[in-house]
Amino acid sequence: MKGISIHGIIKILSNFNLSENNIEDIRKAFGYNVIYKTYKNIIENIYLKHYTREELGLVMKLLDNEKLSFSRSLDTFNRLNEYISNNIIDKNLTSCCIVLMSIIEHSPSMINDKKIFLNSMLTYLINILFERSNFVFYDQHDTDIIIKTIETLCEVDSVKLSSYDFKVGLIRRCLFNLDLFFESNSSIYEEVMSFIAILRSLGIFLDLCYNTKSLENQDKNRFKIYVLKKKNSKGADSSDTIEFETTGFINKISDLITSKFINDLEKYKLPDNLCLGYKDDELAKIRFISAKFYVLNTVAKITDILINRVHFYNDVYAQTKPKFIFDNISNLKSQISWSDLIILATNSPSKFDFILILLDPFYIQNLEHFSYIFLFVFSLKEDYTSILFLTKKLVKLNEFLDVEKYWEILIYIFIHYLEINDERMSKTRFYIIKKCIDHKERLQNILKILVRDCNKDNILINDNLYPLLFFIIFNLDNIDTEIFFDCYNFIVTQLNDDNKTLETSECDIINDKIEEMCIHDRTYIILKTQNYKRDDNLFNKLNRKTLNVSLLIQLMSIYKPPIRILFTKYKKSKYYKSFNFLQKLSKKANEQKDELQDTEKLDGEQPHEQKETLQN
């Protein structure tokens, strides 16, 4: 494509989650030579241009040659060896990390057996984070790349199988540095950045230890601790022997995380007077809170801990983005009570961020949780953006169709904002109506809630209610008689301020025409004319003056254009066809009525004319 380079295309495509078929199509479109030249060019310019891990990874996928990918990146590994050997701090480290991560992900067979290099690299990177002065050179973006590299290294099998001493040593050093920071409570940029990076790394190393638990049965000796056997009780001289201690590897790891550390971490908050500047203060707080709960959550996988509810709710209340907490507490959710949390959610200045938390599958499986969702909806008031987003998420929950509270929430949103013509609320109503249409088998429940809530809140019918009424009227089949009449009376009352309906003669003509045209589809006409003629009791209850057909015609004569929003191909839909048919029917009925009236008028005038003729 003219004007767009191959690098530009790679940059765009790297933002998508491409399937294997997509990769194959791109590979065919580019050709192997172009892909190889692109990869070679990226590797050669990795220190000059800011290529991302995703871009490099995509080209490696397209190249699909682990050996070639690794051989072209040897210069990067030589540079990393030099960094490690001489403890060099270089800005180009982040570019090397991007190459290393891409090789680990896309050429694992070429790197997995290099255990010494990988462990040395891991130690080198964590040492960088321990030294506060290094953050003069590395900004927050660079730090993220270094931490991500540490996380990627810990996913390599040879690192997972490293010795107990190596992994515990990393954890001990992290804990030592964190304790120092807790004591100093510094607000200096470099120290704060180092503290957050170490905290996040601690969570990664704890995860590394937890993940190796699954390997314990495969190689028990690797994960047991060697200790010197004590001399016998008589003090006799004997050579020291080595035996296995019976305590498991994971239990020893959990002993490192003391209750004091947990308490210090839970109650710790970054100082308000951070010296980071601009937007970095808020970003640092988000990074800290994410790292804090990532560590607590990982500890909860290894050993039983009880979080301090007061500290937890204070953290949630203080956060403008509470999702960064809840994204990192998968193992702590059972300790959180929404009876307390709903107070924070309904009073939060950023309610939008609580929506996904509120609809978390873990909480919503408890049907009582819908009561909290209802309370949250009440608190949204004029926050139309949040209402729209919440509705979009609610209508996707198909596993709760039998829950009455679920429909109550949707109907409440629909009727409570009925008179609001904001575009967001129009979309909200559309999603709710579409949900009702897709699940018409729930119409009885929907109808009962709608009539009850409309009557309770004295809701008057307006244009925004008509689409839902259309759906109801066209589907009032096989529902309880009592509910049918409640709905029918509600609609008739609202449509007719003076409680008048069409004349009986009009209804007669309409019904005759329906029979004549053999329209018996229950989705078009609520009750078949044959049915209520045979059933005298039902016919008497309905009364000719309030026939469903007349109601349909009244509703359709008032409401026309907005029906289009319900159906993309509305002219081909049965609703539109029915709409046109009944309109024509009504028009024809009125024309016949006019003709009838004209005939009666002429009949009344003819004798008078004859009388005048006779007189003449």
| Mean pLDDT along residues 13-22 | 91
Residue of 90, 182, 170, 183 lying closest to 130 (CA atoms)? 170
Better-scored residue on pLDDT, 497 or 85: 85
Considering the chain, what percentage of its residues have pLDDT values greater than 70? 65
Which comes out higher in pLDDT, residue 445 or 147? Answer: 147
Segments making up each domain of the chain, as ranges: 501-611
pLDDT category at 605 given cuts 50, 70, 90 is low
Residue 514: pLDDT over 50: no
pLDDT score, position 413: 93
Q: What is the pLDDT of residue 453?
A: 81
- Mean per-residue pLDDT of the chain: 75
Q: Would you state the pLDDT for residue 3?
A: 53
The pLDDT confidence band at residue 376, using thresholds 50, 70 and 90, is very high
**pLDDT of 63 over the 50 cut:** yes
State the average pLDDT over residues 381-390: 94
Q: Average the pLDDT over 391-408 and give the result.
A: 92
246-290 tens-digit pLDDT: 334 445 555 678 888 888 888 888 877 665 554 567 788 888 999
Q: 503 falls in which pLDDT band (50, 70, 90)? A: very low
Which of 398, 222, 193, 161 has its CA nearest to residue 283?
193
Query: What average pLDDT does the segment 497-520 reach?
Result: 37
CA 494, 498, 501 angle in degrees (round to 5)?
80
Q: DSSP letter string over 184-212?
A: H----HHHHHHHHHHHHHHHHHHHHHHHG
Angle between helices 280-302 and 309-318 (to 10 degrees): 150
Lowest mean pLDDT among 190-199, 252-261, 361-370, 483-492: 483-492
Enter the pTM of the model.
0.71
C-alpha closest to that of 478 among 442, 519, 435: 442
DSSP 229: P
Close Cβ partners of 223 (under 8 Å, ≥ 6 residues apart): 164, 212, 215, 216, 248, 249
Q: Is the pLDDT of residue 102 over 90?
A: yes
Q: Which residues contact 36 (CB under 8 A, 6 or more apart)?
A: 63, 68
Mean pLDDT, rounded, for 512-532: 33
pLDDT tens across 110-163, in order? 998 899 999 999 999 999 999 999 998 898 899 999 999 999 999 998 888 888
What is the dihedral sign for C-alpha 486, 551, 438, 417?
Answer: negative
- Lowest-pLDDT choice from 18-22, 293-297, 584-588, 607-611: 607-611
Q: What is the pLDDT of residue 391?
A: 95
State what percent of residues in the chain have pLDDT above 90.
Answer: 38
pLDDT for the residue 490: 67
What's the gap between Cα 39 and its chain centre? Answer: 35
- Beta carbons within 8 Å of 356's beta carbon, 6+ residues apart: 323, 393
The residues facing 362 across adjacent strands are: none
Least confident window among 34-43, 58-67, 224-233, 314-323: 224-233
Residue 335 confidence (pLDDT) above 80: yes
User: Tokens representing 552?
Assistant: 């349909």
Do 241 and 191 form a contact (C-beta atoms < 8 A)?
Answer: no
Q: What pLDDT does 570 receive?
A: 43
Nearest to 378 by CA among 405, 413, 339: 413
Residue 563's pLDDT is: 39
